[in-house]
Structure 1
Amino acid sequence: QVSLTTSDNRLEVKAGRSNFKLPTLPRDDFPVIVEGDLPTSFELPARVLAELIDRTRFAISTEETRYYLNGIFLHVTDENEPLLKAAATDGHRLARFTLSRPEGAAGMPDVIVPRKAVGELRKLLEEALDGNVLIDLSASKIRFTMGGEGGVVLTSKLIDGTFPDYSRVIPTGNDKLLKVDPKLLFSGVDRVATIATEKTRAVKIGLDQDRVTLSVTSPDNGTAAEELAAEYRADALEIGFNANYLKDILGQIDADTVELHLADAGAPTLIRENEASPALYVLMPMRV
Structure 2
Amino acid sequence: MRLSIERNALLKALGHVQNVVERRNTIPILSNVLMSAEDGVLSLVATDLDIEVSESTEADVSAPGQVTAPAHTLYDIARKLPDGSQVVLQINSDDRLDVDAGRSHFTLPLLPSGDFPKMTADGFTHEFSILAKDLSRLIDKTKFAISTEETRYYLNGIYVHGHDGKLRAVATDGHRLALAESPAPAGAEDMPGVIIPRKTVAEIRRLIDGVDGDVHVSVSEAKIRFKTGHAIMTSKLIDGTFPDYERVIPKGNTKELTIDNKVFASAVDRVATISAEKSRSVKMSLSEHNLSLTVNNPESGNANEDLPVDYADEPLEIGFNAKYLLDVAGQIEGRDATFFLESPASPALVKDSEDEHALFVLMPLRV
Report the TM-score range of the alignment, normalised by the length of the smaller protein. Answer: over 0.9
Cα-to-partner distance string for 1:57-90 (whole Å, 9 max, x where unaligned): 0000111111111111001123xxx221100001
| Preserved contact between residue 110 and residue 139 of structure 1 (Cα < 8 Å) | no
Q: Letter of the aligned partner of 1:92 in structure 2?
A: H
Alpha-carbon offset, residue 21 of structure 1: 1.1
Where does the alignment leave 5 or more consecutive residues of structure 1 unmatched? none
Q: Output aligned runs, 1:31-46, within 5 Å.
A: 31-46=117-132
Q: Letter of the aligned partner of 1:200 in structure 2?
A: S
Cα-to-partner distance string for 1:13-72 (whole Å, 9 max, x where unaligned): 111222111111111222211011212011111111111110000000111111111111
Q: 2:175 aligned with 1:175, yes or no? A: no
* Alignment correspondent of 1:194: 273
Stretch of structure 1 that moved more, 6-15 or 162-171: 6-15
Q: Letter of the aligned partner of 1:84 in structure 2?
A: L
Q: Tell me how far apart the structure 2 counterparts of residues 86 and 144 of structure 1 sit (CA, whole Å).
A: 16
Q: Letter of the aligned partner of 2:201 in structure 1?
A: V
Where does the alignment leave 5 or more consecutive residues of structure 2 unmatched? 1-85
In the superposition, the TM-score normalised over structure 1's length comes to 0.95
Q: Letter of the aligned partner of 2:344 in structure 1?
A: A
Q: Tell me how far apart the structure 2 counterparts of residues 44 and 194 of structure 1 sit (CA, whole Å).
A: 41
Q: Tell me how far apart the structure 1 counterparts of residues 348 and 207 of structure 2 sit (CA, whole Å).
A: 34
* Alignment correspondent of 1:119: 202
Which portions of structure 1, spanning 4 or more consecutive aligned residues, are displaced by more than 2 angstroms?
A: none
Cα-to-partner distance string for 1:140-171 (whole Å, 9 max, x where unaligned): 11111112xxx211111111111101000000
Q: 2:177 aligned with 1:94, yes or no? A: yes
Q: 2:315 aligned with 1:218, yes or no? A: no
* Alignment correspondent of 2:142: 56
220, 224, 240: which one aligns with 1:138? 220
Q: 2:105 aligned with 1:28, yes or no? A: no
Measured on the aligned residues, the alpha-carbon RMSD in Å equals: 1.2
Cα-to-partner distance string for 1:232-265 (whole Å, 9 max, x where unaligned): 0111000000000010001110111111000100
Alpha-carbon offset, residue 9 of structure 1: 3.8
Give the secondary-structure state (helix, strand or coil) at the position aligned to 1:84: strand
In the superposition, the TM-score normalised over structure 2's length comes to 0.75
Alpha-carbon offset, residue 134 of structure 1: 0.7
Q: 2:85 aligned with 1:3, yes or no? A: no
Give the secondary-structure state (helix, strand or coil) at the position aligned to 2:356: coil
Cα-to-partner distance string for 1:199-250 (whole Å, 9 max, x where unaligned): 1110000000000000000001010000001000111000000000010001
Q: Tell me how far apart the structure 1 counterparts of residues 271 and 189 of structure 2 sit (CA, whole Å).
A: 47
Give the secondary-structure state (helix, strand or coil) at the position aligned to 1:232: coil
Higher relative contact order (CA 8 A, sep 6+): 1
